[in-house]
Structure 1
Amino acid sequence: MAPPTGPTPAAAATPPTHLKALWVLVCALSAVVVALVAGIILVCLGTPVHSAICIGGGAFAGTLGLGLGILNTLWPKNGNDGG
């Protein structure tokens, strides 16, 4: 009897690499939205523009770090993800 020729279960459970890139893009775009909202709210409250930009940058960095950390935690770790 010949061995099965289909993909191994571990390889079948791993999403394609381009899907990982799309999720990273979703995280980056959501971080941009959070940063813009934070900056706009601060400017509307009377904060100087340069301070609002700095705080928006911090919001971007925090959101992107959190999103990428969650992706890293949830992504399968079988060494077969192509990247």
Structure 2
Amino acid sequence: MIISSGMARLGEPADTVRTARDASWIQLVRFKCTSTYHASPVNTNIRTIPHLRELFGCEDGISAHKMGPGVAVAPWPWVPAW
């Protein structure tokens, strides 16, 4: 199951993950979403992804409307290349 957090407060994705787990969804991927268009690197803040992965106990990625390949080529551990 893919869970997107666009325009959500921190507690709302937590409720969604808990509900999915209660319904026996095992494979969860959460996307930290940046709701601005075109997202600046400051708004994207991809360095929070490892914390979100630990907080929610599932894989976490990013969905953003960023100009250019910066997010796609950012090296692990999510250090911005721009």
For normalisation by structure 1, the TM-score amounts to 0.31
Structure with the higher fraction of residues in helix conformation: 1
Q: Which one has a bigger Cα radius of gyration?
A: 1
Higher relative contact order (CA 8 A, sep 6+): 1
Which structure has the highest strand share of the two?
A: 2
TM-score, normalisation: structure 2: 0.31
